[in-house]
Amino acid sequence: MKTKNICDLARTVRSKNAGSFMITLEIIFDDREIYERVKKSGAITREAIARAYNVEPEKILDFMFFDPGMGIKANYQRPIPSGGPAETDVYGCQQYAPLFSLEIPWED
């Protein structure tokens, strides 16, 4: 089956700080039909995000589809608290890149 990368489908793929101990990941769409196809594909799950980040699924503390905003949101536990020794991204804004590995089954 053919696939499309999430970067080709979503308007925004980002991460941000969710307090001292968590990072929020967001995938936001600007087309309702595309959002619904991605959601129904079952390709983006807690487990898929855990694989992308090479962590146990239990580390993905929250996972949800937000239909009114056509978005997918997940929170995961930071390996090092924000601002802690050896922590390299206080704001969590550079943690989205592993999401780029998400492929969605897609037949035109």
Q: Is residue 61 part of a domain?
A: yes
Q: Sign of dihedral through CA atoms 11, 47, 85, 88? A: negative
Domain of residue 79, residue span: 3-98
Domain for residue 105, yes or no?
A: no
Query: What pLDDT score does 87 carry?
Result: 87
pLDDT of residue 39: 98
Q: Report helix, strand or coil for 45.
A: coil
Q: Does a structural domain hold residue 79?
A: yes
Query: Is residue 73 assigned to a domain?
Result: yes
pLDDT digits (tens, 9 = 90+) for 51-100: 999 999 999 999 999 999 999 999 999 888 998 999 889 999 999 999 99
Count: domains in the chain: 1
pTM for this model (two decimals): 0.93
Query: Looking at residue 8, what DSSP letter applies?
Result: H
Whether 37 maps to a domain, the answer reads yes
pLDDT band at 20 (very low <50, low <70, confident <90, very high): very high
For residue 91, being part of any structural domain is answered with: yes
> Does 108 reside within a domain?
no
- Closest by alpha carbon to 4, among 71, 96, 101? 101
Q: Which residues pair with 69 in a beta bridge?
A: none
Nearest alpha carbon to residue 14 among 89, 83, 84: 89
Residue 1 reports pLDDT greater than 90? no
67 inside domain: yes
CA distances to 13, 41, 45, 100, 107 from 3, in Å: 18, 11, 16, 13, 7
